Amino acid sequence: MTAKGFSISELNPPQREAVEYGPGPLLVLAGAGSGKTRVITYRIAHLISHHNLAPAAIIAVTFTNKAAGEMRDRIKQILGNVIAKQIWIGTFHALCLRILKKEIPYEFTIYDEEESKRLLKECQRELNIDEKQLKVVQLGYRIEGSKHELIGPDEYEKTAVDFTSRQVAKVYHLYQKKLVRNKAYDFGDLIMSTVRLFQEQPELHKKYRDQFKYVLVDEYQDINHCQYFWIRQLAGEQGNLTVVGDDDQSIYQFRGADLRNILEFERDYPKAKVIKLEQNYRSTQNILAAAGAVVGNNSGRKAKTLWTENETGLPLQYFRGETEAEEAAFVVREILQDVYDKNIRRLTDCVILYRTNAQSRPFEDALRRERIPYRIVGGMKFYDRMEIKDILAYLKVIMNPADELSLDRIVNTPPRGIGAGTISKVRKIASEQGSTMLEAMAGMAQDGQGLTDRARQAVTAFSNLMQGLKSRVSQTDLARYLATVITETGYLAMWQKAPHDEGASRLENLNELIKAADEFSRTGDNTLGGFLEQIALVSSWDEADSKDNDQVTLMTFHSAKGLEFPLVFMVGMEEGLFPHSNALQDEHGLAEERRLCYVGITRARERLILTGTATRSSFGNRIYNSESRFLHEIPGRLFMGQIPLCHQTAQQTADARGLWRGKQYQVSADTLSNEHNEHFSEDVCPDLDDELGLVVGQRVSHAKYGSGTIVGKQGVGEDLKLEVAFTRHGRKQMLARFAALQPTSGKSRAKGV
């Protein structure tokens, strides 16, 4: 069967092999830009068109709504909309939500990150836990991490051995009880609750196992233990499981991703077929060579060699400024040159990638000075804005009256005379009656129950308002209903009375929310519940690819995953910044930083520019920085113009030796130019040494800071500066002649140290 937009002949041999592979476990190792999305969608189409598989017997799991939407669109083009709708395609959270909605016999609310934090704070207050000693962010991180590992509050309590863990255990218990009472789930619950549901109800588990004959998982290198377990539940130990991923692009360890899942796939499924996709369709050969050279320094990876039929392309470019301002000015000059002088690119073709969000400021300043429009991916998102959260809280209470967290947010917003004392009385009566707070309010409106006349009037008005809005939830179209909620709650009038600039901005956002409801209703689902579910499942990175306006993009390396740009700037290429200092004491952390660098390099299609600074401001001081080791791992032949300092010194060393016809010759300090003496770096030219005998990789001890490792060097002689990563005190830079460092355990020559 050949469908529109679907021809196996379009694929290269490994892609075709993956698409046509029959039953059984299949691991597709898909390098960056190798066409993995096409392989997944074509495999789905092939299973339906050539194996007569029912569309509803296929479940395809992705990590972002954007990726799921792209997959569904491609299936529509191949097999048509009717078939595409029957296939279960979505994120882990969306698919588990779909199962829970089918199997749980009551309406429930999904709490986003902010709502979860508010509930955690409420738990802290009730348990008299000092928020200064145990921050809500720490609580959320530990509880979310536990859910990633399928550890509930009871199991967590058993492993709590210190004071902090025991405090977390108390909060975890109360937090889950409140979620149950509010008929709510947080994001971690969606997957874990589905796993538990299958464990507790074997017949239900069997129902879904029997339904899904083929399970396909994208970005398999990024799954956590809970997601891994759910996939195993669906596919079984010998099931028809296809996973697609790239261990070299595993960069979400901090979110719970476990690289072992993809590295040990063949252990989990001994009969698995492994197919490598190594042909890259995105980048030039020079860019791929740089990426391969960097990630090749990681051990324990599944070997892949990316190649392309694209042209060799431009060499990489490197710039090392003296300060952050110099670095930013250079980047902006290059953008201006390509976009306005040469007219060969648009602003949307350009992206500035950095390791931490704090690095964006100098680039923003430089772009603003040149009046170049830009956007920051990862800033305040639309659905995170206060006025949007407020209206969504109204909608959630309308859909689920048991949602006390949302009710707390809007009961006195705008102000309507319902104070904390009144709320406390309402909550107490609701608890005694076993009712919702809204039900308690309706009763109190009738008999008062200890309320003052003013409070009773306010409670009555609010109760009537919410009952009236709930009664009309299905009587009009979604956008019109949303406008009614915004108006009748008094929320619109509140912002109309606000100072012009702030009020106008809030009203514009409320208008956009109404537009979003209208656009959603055009999909065929005109329900408020469906609208709220769609919003709840929006991932922060799903907005990263929006290109409505011609503007430069600024984002972190993590945010850039899955995207591509013709011109990529990788800035801040310095030790301690990238790789980040937090990773330098941990082998796995450094390996992940290297994979992150690989991801950054492979975002570039045509041109890659790497930049850094010799000094960087830190709390009012200028700190000297050594170049990132990742620059040194890229072969010097791939650069044009200015090249990293080590490659300069290595080349001059080779030239000097050449004068002596290959004899071993130690280049003296006078042989090199003053410019190169100033930046001499032992860590990438290990055969050169200095008179003090201290080399990069050497373990040393300091009288004040204790033990550490030399990770960078600059200068020679009396001007020799050492950068030392101390175990307990972080990274320090010091003049070698004053540092009084003592070697402790010899010199380490392990790659990447």
Active site residues: 36-37, 218-219, 249, 603
Q: What are phi and psi of 76, to 5 degrees?
A: -60, -45
C-alpha span between 64 and 252 (Å, rounded): 14
C-alpha span between 345 and 343 (Å, rounded): 6
Residue 676 CB partners (closer than 8 Å, separation 6+)? 645, 648, 649, 652
Identity at 546, one-letter amino acid code: S
Identity at 308, one-letter amino acid code: T
Residue 570 CB partners (closer than 8 Å, separation 6+)? 353, 557, 578, 597, 600, 601, 608, 609, 610, 611
Which three-class secondary structure state does DSSP give residue 268? helix
Q: What are phi and psi of 586, to 5 degrees?
A: -130, 125
DSSP structure string for 104-161? SSS--EEE-HHHHHHHHHHHHHHTT--TTTS-HHHHHHHHHHHHHTT--HHHHHHH--
C-alpha span between 362 and 570 (Å, rounded): 14
CB 744 within 8 A of CB 701: yes
In angstroms, the Cα distances linking 601 to 281, 289, 318, 571 are 14, 10, 13, 11
C-alpha span between 690 and 685 (Å, rounded): 12
CB 234 within 8 A of CB 281: no
Tokens of 453: 């006349």
Question: β-strands 621-624, 615-618: how paired?
Answer: antiparallel
- Residue 642 Ramachandran class (φ > 0 left, ψ -120 to 50 alpha, else beta): beta
Cα 252-542-473 angle, rounded to 5 deg: 125
Tokens of 571: 């800035």
- Closest alpha carbon to 715 in 684, 679, 682: 679
Identity at 177, one-letter amino acid code: K
C-alpha span between 484 and 375 (Å, rounded): 33
Is cis: bond before 579, omega within 30 of 0?
Answer: yes
